[in-house]
């Protein structure tokens, strides 16, 4: 009796298995007829962020970016149809991907990323249209105009573009499986370090000098272009001074060889550098009304675009480079004689001539 019952139960299980297989075959992928181990046939969409727009061509996203906000836009209306923000250690996980919960279809993709959003830069949180996704640098209202005195936190802009720079329409297909879209990022903040040194070897007192960078680059559009804005004066967020010894065996180039060098360093962080902007580096001495140094930063930066980078456009070079070290050498009257600009291992010496 027990054997007969077992055989009947086995025949019933076999029959149900056949029915489930036939139903699944006839309906394509109906989850109600599929066992868990057979997988599922829904499409899943995910975003992978990468930051290799740098002079090393290496993806620095896990090391540099600690906050992301992704937007999906209806290309026919420009309306924002979906957005998500994530931050913290999750972004540093190996193979980090953001889940995208939207229906299959065509979308444009953009992002504002970095800890600067919400701290030093503001993006509207209630935006409904892509034109609302502007990014504004906070500034202080002081006598003489707008100023920034902080070490600005990093900001990145992301977009999927066509070869001509226009926004691409990305199709998220109605096909089973996991579909991953890559979102490339451009860094919009730059570190500019200014080192001041006397050729005579006399002590450089940092309190004698004021270091500024001026530009009207504090208002960024949704496509990362510069919108009309007031002039902003960036002051050094940190100034230090020190001395370095010169070995006594060094060849003498003066009758009284210098055995110690004195210098002061001014550290700045500025918003995006765009070719065509009049970005000025100025250094003032407390006893002089006019600046003792006044140079166009972007022109100087592009001097470093050697043949090694000749395949890039000027703007791509500016977007890939995010750190500039400039050393000015002063004479006894605090007139600058020449400067050196360093980018990675490259260096250019510039004489004091009008640019």
Mean local confidence (pLDDT), 127-147: 95
Residue 193 has pLDDT above 90, yes or no: yes
Quote the Cα angle for 321-326-329, to 5°.
165
- Chain centroid offset of residue 259 CA: 41
Residue 36 has pLDDT above 50, yes or no: no
Residue owning tokens 């002089």? 288
Mean local confidence (pLDDT), 60-72: 97
**What is the average pLDDT value for the chain, to the nearest integer?**
86
Mean local confidence (pLDDT), 241-265: 66
CATH class of 190-351: mainly beta
> Does residue 193 contact residue 121 with C-beta atoms inside 8 Å?
no
pLDDT at 335: 87
Residue 353 has pLDDT above 90, yes or no: no
Residue owning tokens 């309190």? 207
List, edge to edge, every strand of the sheet that includes 260-270: 238-245, 260-270, 190-198, 323-330, 336-343, 346-351
Greater pLDDT, 259 or 170: 170
Q: Which of 1-10, 203-212, 324-333 has the least mean pLDDT?
A: 1-10
Q: pLDDT exceeding 70 applies to what percent of the chain?
A: 83
Mean local confidence (pLDDT), 120-132: 96
> Does residue 62 contact residue 185 with C-beta atoms inside 8 Å?
no
Q: Is the dihedral of CA 205, 206, 208, 212 positive or negative?
A: positive
- How would you class 118 by CB atoms within 10 Å of its CB: exposed for 0-12, middle for 13-18, buried for 19 or more? middle
DSSP 3-state assignment of 26?
helix
Greater pLDDT, 246 or 18: 246
**In whole angstroms, how far apart are CA 156 and each of 177, 188, 190, 222?**
30, 5, 11, 12
Residue owning tokens 């970016």? 65
From CA 40, how far away is CA 266, in angstroms rounded? 58
pLDDT at 29: 56
Q: pLDDT exceeding 90 applies to what percent of the chain?
A: 69
Residue 62 has pLDDT above 70, yes or no: yes
Mean local confidence (pLDDT), 238-254: 68
Residue 20 has pLDDT above 90, yes or no: no
Q: Is the dihedral of CA 119, 122, 126, 129 positive or negative?
A: negative
Name the band, by pLDDT with cuts 50, 70 and 90, for residue 208: very high
pLDDT at 291: 95
Nearest to 271 by CA among 237, 220, 235, 228: 220
**In whole angstroms, how far apart are CA 333 and each of 244, 272, 288?**
22, 34, 11
From CA 215, how far away is CA 195, in angstroms rounded? 20
From CA 227, how far away is CA 204, in angstroms rounded? 39
pLDDT at 25: 39
Mean local confidence (pLDDT), 88-104: 96
CATH of domain 43-115+154-187: 2.60.40.2100
Strands 209-215 and 145-148: unpaired
Residue 30 has pLDDT above 50, yes or no: no
50 strand-pairing partners: 184
Name the band, by pLDDT with cuts 50, 70 and 90, for residue 17: very low
pLDDT at 322: 95
Residue 199 has pLDDT above 70, yes or no: yes
Greater pLDDT, 149 or 310: 149
Which residues does 212 contact at the CB level (< 8 Å), separation at least 6? 233, 234, 235, 236, 281, 282, 283, 284
pLDDT at 289: 92
Mean local confidence (pLDDT), 76-89: 97
The model's pLDDT over 287-346, given as tens digits with 9 standing for 90+, comes to 999 999 999 999 989 988 888 888 999 999 999 999 999 999 998 888 888 788 887 767
């Amino acid at each position: 009796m027990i054997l007969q019952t077992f055989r009947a139960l086995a025949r019933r299980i076999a029959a149900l298995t056949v029915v489930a297989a036939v139903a699944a075959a006839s309906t394509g992928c109906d989850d109600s007829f599929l066992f868990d181990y057979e997988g599922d046939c829904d499409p899943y969409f995910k975003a992978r962020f990468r930051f290799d727009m740098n002079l090393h061509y290496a993806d620095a996203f896990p090391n540099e970016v600690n906050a992301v906000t992704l937007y999906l836009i209806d290309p026919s209306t420009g309306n924002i149809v979906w957005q998500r923000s994530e931050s913290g250690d999750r972004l540093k996980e190996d193979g980090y991907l953001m889940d995208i919960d939207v229906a299959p279809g065509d979308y444009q993709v953009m992002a504002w990323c970095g800890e600067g959003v919400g701290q030093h830069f503001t993006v509207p949180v209630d935006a409904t249209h892509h034109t609302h996704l502007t990014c504004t640098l906070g500034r202080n209202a002081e006598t003489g105009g707008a100023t920034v005195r902080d070490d600005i936190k990093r900001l990145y802009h992301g977009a999927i573009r066509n070869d001509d720079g226009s926004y691409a329409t990305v199709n998220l297909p109605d096909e089973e499986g996991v579909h991953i879209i890559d979102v490339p990022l451009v860094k919009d903040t730059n570190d500019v370090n200014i080192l001041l040194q006397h050729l005579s070897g006399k002590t450089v007192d940092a309190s004698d000098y004021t270091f500024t960078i001026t530009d009207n680059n504090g208002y960024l559009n949704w496509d990362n272009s510069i919108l009309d804005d007031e002039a902003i004066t960036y002051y050094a967020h940190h100034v230090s001074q020190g001395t370095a010894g010169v070995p006594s065996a060094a060849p003498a180039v003066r009758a009284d060889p210098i055995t110690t060098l004195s210098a002061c360093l001014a550290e700045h962080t500025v918003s995006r550098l765009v070719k065509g902007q009049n970005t000025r580096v100025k250094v003032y001495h407390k006893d002089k009304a006019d600046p003792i140094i006044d140079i166009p930063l972007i022109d100087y930066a592009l001097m470093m675009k050697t043949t090694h980078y000749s395949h890039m456009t000027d703007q791509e070079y500016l977007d890939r480079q995010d750190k500039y070290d400039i050393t000015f050498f002063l004479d006894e009257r605090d007139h600058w004689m020449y400067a050196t600009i360093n980018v990675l291992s490259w260096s250019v010496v510039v004489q004091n001539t009008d640019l």
